[in-house]
Structures are given as C-alpha cells and as structure tokens.
Structure 1
Amino acid sequence: MNTTIKGILRRNDGHPFIEGEDGVKYFSNQRLWNGYLDHWNGQTVFARLLPEYDYEKNLPIVIVWPDRPKPTKPYVEIYYAQRLVKYIKSTLGHSAINVNGEIFNFSHLMNENEIITEEEFFYRPALGEFAPSPNNGKYEILEDGTPYYDKFGRNFMRTIHVLRIEGIDVEKLGNIYKHQLDVIRSTPPKPKEPEAYSGFNIFTRSCSTIIRDGLNEYGFDQIKGIFPRDLFISATYHLLKVNSLKVEQIIMPQLVVPEADLSAMSPILNPKNYIRSRLIAK
C-alpha cells in the first residue's frame, strides 16, 4: 500500500494502529515505532509505508507524521539543526533548506546529498537502516553488510531552528540547488572512500556553504557564513530587512526519544553574529 492514510494513532492491548477516517484499522500488522506513540498517541496523523524493512521483524516500515496546516503560498524554510552531542563531526550543527516542500540536504556522505520530503526529513522512525547501531548507538555497517545509518527523523534527533520566508521565486531557487546536486553526483568518488562526497570541504563546500552560495546566486549576496549557526543568523538578520518578503522565526523543539541524546546549540564563531543574534531576539 503506497497510499497515505489520515487517521488517529491508537494503541489497543499493546498493538498500535492508525484508525482511518473510514473506521478501518490500518497498519495493525506492520511495525509502528514507539517514538510515534510517545508523542502522538490519540492524535490525528498521516502515515504511509516506506520501501525499507525493519530488521527485527522483517516488516515494511511505516512512517508517521503529525497533521499540520498546509501552507497556502509558496515558501522557503532555512534550517539550523542543533549539534548531535555524540558526533564530533556534528559539533557545528547542520544546515538544510526547504524550497516549497522539497528539502535539499547536503552532506559529506554521498547518499545524504538529496532532495527529501518533509515527513522523511523530520519524522523517519528509528527502525531498520535509519536506526542507530545497537552496538555503539551511532553510525555503523556490520561485518555482514547490514547498515545502521543513524539518520532517522531529524526532529527526533535535534531541536531545529526555522527561518520561514514567503515571497521568494521558489522555482528559481529550487533550480539553483538542483544544479548543485547534479554537480555533486557527477563528482568522481575517492577510491578508498566511495561513500564520501570527494568535493566536500568544511570551509568551502559544506551543507552551509552550498546553501549560502545558492542564496547568494539568487540575489541575497549580503548573506554570509561558513558554519550552520552563523549562516542562520546572517540569513535571518538580512532577510528580515527585505520589505518584499514575509519572514517568520520558528523553533521546532526536539521530540525526545530513547534513541537520541538531547541536542545542543553550537557556538557562534563570527563575533558580528553575537550582536546580530541579540538584535534579532529583540
């Protein structure tokens, strides 16, 4: 079943399911992650099957996400995701950008340079290949080839700061980032690290700098920043001044689950952004 079901997330005698608007109990024989029940039991949600399978029961994985009002106008959202405390490579946090429902994610790993739906970016369950390894609680590929990518829903892993913007030409901006993905995918891999994006550079070619360069190419050339939090502050500070745009700041608190530690803020590295962050907060 590839269709999306809308209904109420319930648990009856320990068995979770989605009670559809037609009264049918959907996904009662599938694997529904406990993290969803911890946060949305008894609430209206959407759900559909993913092509990936759970390792424990070899059942298709169900993705569930909350019922939220749909935007009525084209929009862009810039994300600063707080740092993962157990990963050194996450010390500075992470950046991503949503262009009218398509989230562009850029990474040092080839398979994480992608366009991803909002529900998969934020709410994938910690099951199967998305889960952290049972051995170390992090990324690991076992000797038999079983992958644990530890990349379940980002909102379960981190608090996410959102800059929501209306008034941008979403087709133009989206095409800029699609071109960047084409460049990344055509880059020859490193023979010893085929899983890595060989063009990645923390100072010049990272999640933040690719997003920054795309915004500059669009016309927002005042936006600066090498690292995620600095980029987010700079974008917020400058875009709030553009009269033709409607700009809103939102925080998506981390949805706490046992599979993830609490995220933490990364440092501000540009002294100018200390001042800007205080001005923005007023």
Structure 2
Amino acid sequence: MVTGILTQVNHASFILDESGDRHFEDRIIWNGYLAHWSGEKVHARELKQHDYENNEPIIIIWPVESSSTEPFVDLYYNERLTKYFVSYLGHTAVNVNGSIFNFSHLMNENEIMEKEEYFYRPALGEFAPSPNNGLFEILEDGRVFYDKFGRNFMRTIHRIRIFGLDTEKMMAALTQSLDIILNTPLNPKEPEKYKDFSIVSNNCATIIRDVFNQCGFPQIKGRFPRDLFVNTTYHLFCHPELDVQYAKLPQLFVPEAPMSMVSPLLNFRNYFRKNELRIFESS
C-alpha cells in the first residue's frame, strides 16, 4: 500500500508520496477517483483482479480517513439501484471493527470485505458495467462485467455507528451465519446462487436481524433493509449504555451509475419511528 496525493499533470495521473516519488504513473487510474479526490491524500494498492485493457492488476484508491480507536459496529442501509428491479428494497450490511459482512442471494457475494473494497472499488475490469448495456453481462469472449464496483459510487449509504456492543460476540455470530451459507450444498441448476435465500425470510436483512437478536436485542425486527435499519436505530437509541451515531454518506456520482433512490418502508410503524428519531430528515 502507498499513501500520497492523487495527482494529475497534463495527461498523467499518479500517487505522489511525501518523498516525491510517483506511484502507478504508467497504470490505469479510474476516472471516478480523479473526479472526486484529485489533489487529496489517499491510499492505493493493487487488487488481485486484472483490468481488461492492459491485463494488469486493478488499482484501488480510497481517501485517508481517521479510524475509530474504540470497538464499534456499523449498520449500513444502501439505497436501491434504480436500474435493477431486484434492488428495489435496497441492501444492508454490517461492519464489526473494520470487517464488513455482506450477505447476498449470490454465493460469491457472501463474504467478509475490507472497507476500501466495499465502498471504493473502481468500475474497471470485472467490477464495471458492461459497455454494451450498462448492466451485468457475460460476453462471448468470456469477459464478465458484474457491475459491482464501490458501493458508495453506486448508492447513497445511511449508517449508524454503535459503540458499547459486545463486538466479539457479534463477530462470532456473523461468522457463524456466513459459514452456514458457504457450507450450504449448491443447487446444480443454479450453482451461482445461495440455495436457501428467500426475499422474505432469509435475506441480508433477516440474517443481520437474527444476529442482533442473538446478541441480546430480541426487540429488533425487520424483514427488509430499510425497515431493519430504522427499527434497529430506534431500539438501540433506547439503550443508555450505547452510543449510537447516524451519518449519511452521499453517493459519489460517476457516469457508470445513476443516482440511487430510497426504498419504501413496508412496515407502517417504522414511518412513525423514523419521524420520532428526526435523524432521517433528508432520507
């Protein structure tokens, strides 16, 4: 990993470190990074995936940010992707001390991710949308375009950061849930999909809800991402031993992704909870 200033000079782009050395000058640096962070201090490293233009490791770049010195849990509600109907209800994930647990109907998306990969992967190589239709596509030449780059470039993300939880217990419960998925026998007809996934009873929201229940919060309810987010925030704010902080992470607009939209709340009680909290005024 290198750290320095994301720099553009004429048609060249690179990371300029404190010693004056240039890094990744002859490599592809995604335009989305240059649009948002040119002139700012960033981290950068190579990914194992390769770009399709030069067949070189993809460079991931992310901003230098302060990190928490206290144990924490983040719950994320990702707004819906307007170009995919299956994203109508949005998405949710959870971060325990920097390890982000992501649950999905696709087997390869059930994983523990580093923050930079979850939020800031570039729209290059397999992460990019297809140049043909702007969506997921597998081309005849074997190239795959998953249209799964950094979440914060694809959506606005709502976050609650929680201090005071037993993070070791939560980490263990999340790891167990992930292991169950990864050890579930595949359906030979659809090996790429999680066989036991259900949009109503076994999805990203219900898995995380059940983990909160196991960790001592049985009152937390919710079958869908935004309902779970509002419900969890409401109930955790009622616990004086917890410090719960809300933040909205606006979408970093790039041409590869339309602006996201807030998904509906399906439990009418959560409308009242949301209004009572008064922290989602712009959501």
Q: TM-score by structure 1 length?
A: 0.97
Equivalent residue number for residue 242 of structure 2 = 245
Q: Cα RMSD over matched residues?
A: 0.8
* Structure 2 CA distance for aligned equivalents of residues 280 and 191 of structure 1: 46
Q: Give a deviation string over 1:5-30, Cα, whole Å, max 9, x none.
A: 11000011111100012210001121
Query: In structure 1, what residue type is equivalent to 2:91?
Result: H
Q: Give a deviation string over 1:246-267, Cα, whole Å, max 9, x none.
A: 1100000000000000000000
Give the gaps of 5 or more residues in structure 2: none
1:94-109 paired onto structure 2 within 5 Å: 94-109=91-106
Equivalent residue number for residue 5 of structure 2 = 8
Query: In structure 1, what residue type is equivalent to 2:113?
Result: I
Give the gaps of 5 or more residues in structure 1: none
Q: Does the alignment pair 1:275 with 2:272?
A: yes
Query: In structure 2, what residue type is equivalent to 1:261?
Result: P
| 4+ residue segments displaced more than 4 Å | none
Q: Give a deviation string over 1:223-254, Cα, whole Å, max 9, x none.
A: 10000000000000000111111110000000
Query: In structure 2, what residue type is equivalent to 1:207?
Result: C
The secondary structure found in structure 1 opposite 2:161 is strand
Equivalent residue number for residue 84 of structure 1 = 81
1:118 is matched with which residue: 112, 115, 122? 115
Q: What percentage of aligned pairs have identical amino acids?
A: 56
2:153 is matched with which residue: 142, 153, 156? 156
1:134-173 paired onto structure 2 within 5 Å: 134-173=131-170
Aligned residues: 279
Query: In structure 1, what residue type is equivalent to 2:130?
Result: S
Measured after TM superposition, the shift of residue 94 of structure 1 is 0.2
Measured after TM superposition, the shift of residue 127 of structure 1 is 0.1
* Structure 1 CA distance for aligned equivalents of residues 185 and 134 of structure 2: 31
The secondary structure found in structure 1 opposite 2:270 is helix
* Structure 2 CA distance for aligned equivalents of residues 192 and 21 of structure 1: 54
Q: TM-score by structure 2 length?
A: 0.97
* Structure 1 CA distance for aligned equivalents of residues 228 and 123 of structure 2: 29
